Each structure stands twice: as structure tokens, then as C-alpha cells.
Amino acid sequence: MLKKNEHRSLVVQLLIMAVAMFGFGFLLVPLYDVFCEITGFGGRTNAVAAVVEEAPDLTREIRVEFVTTVNEYAQFEFAADADSMTVSPGKMYYATFTAKNLAAVQKVAQAVPSVAPVSAAEHFTKIECFCFTSQEFMANEERAMPLQFIVNPDLPDYVDTITLQYTFFDTAPVAANLEN
């Protein structure tokens, strides 16, 4: 009789632990997003434009480098139209990236940004960006995609180069994994 109660107790403890682990796993993504938003970890920038162009600091020049990669499973070409540009903090700038679907079928892709150094992420504001939404491409379609941004004049003085890196993903493999 005593062994039966011990087994029930163990089963209840294991069930509680399984529910707690599921809950923790479920909360990891929102917790990570909050952590990244607060700390700027992962090079995340703002998702909403909150800076208005005013009083640019024309005495200071910042080099903004554009680095692009394509996920190994994506059948795309993806590149910045210029490797870099020199900007003045507080002034609005435009850049263009070009992507081409190399497949003979329609594809949906998503660009994921990252900013380095991490200390610059909170000072780099994307006003308009192709990375905000998924991009649908017809078979063999090539498209120019705009980026409108501003570097906040509060950028620390020791930062003279900002690297904006985009990785381009084909979202079909991700969607297929979610369905299975």
C-alpha cells in the first residue's frame, strides 16, 4: 500500500514538472523579445519609427556598412546596391537592396536584420524597411527593396562605423516545419 502512494506522488511530481517545463518553453520567446528590446542584445533595432529628422550633426560622419547573406536553403540572390554609405547623425537616408527569386516557382522570403556594434542598435532607426514584412516573389522575379533610416545624434562618440547585416530566408521550409 505504501508503494502505491509513493508511485502516485512521483507521478504527480512528474506531471507538475512537465507542465512547468511546457510553460517555461512557451514563455521563452516573449521573454527573449523583451530582453532584446531592453538590452539591444542581438542587434535588434526599433520596429516603430520614433525619431523625426531634426538638427542633423553635419560635423560628424558615420560609415554605415551593408552586409547581406542568403540562408543556405533559400533560392535567392540578395545584395545591397551599395556596400556602404557615409551618413551624418540626425539626417534621413535611403538605401536600396535587390533580391531575385532564382526558382521557377513563387516564393515568400523574409529578411532578418542585425546591427553591430550592439551599442549602436538603439540609435539606428529604420523608418521604412523591407524587413518589416514577408516579401512575395513570382517565379524568377527581381525586385528593388527600399530602406529608409536615420542614425540618432545620441550615438556614442566612439562609434564611427555601423554594420547593418541582413540574412534573407525562404519562409517555405520554416512553414513546412511548423505544419509537421
pLDDT tens for 23-75 read 777 666 666 666 655 555 554 555 444 445 567 888 899 999 999 999 888 89
What confidence score (pLDDT) does residue 88 get?
Answer: 94
> Which residues make Cβ contacts (< 8 Å) with residue 77, sequence separation at least 6?
70, 98, 99, 100, 102, 142
76 bridge partner residues? 101
The pLDDT score that the predictor gives to residue 105 is 93
C-alpha count within 13 angstroms, C-beta hemisphere, residue 61: 5
DSSP per residue over 83-126, as a string? SEEEE-TTSEEEEEEEEEE-SSS-EEEEEEEEEESHHHHTTEEE
C-beta atoms surrounding 120 within 10 Å: 23
Whether omega for the bond prior to residue 117 falls within 30 degrees of 0, making it cis, is yes
pLDDT tens track for 61-116: 999 999 999 988 889 999 999 999 999 999 999 999 999 999 999 999 999 999 99
Stated pTM of the model? 0.68
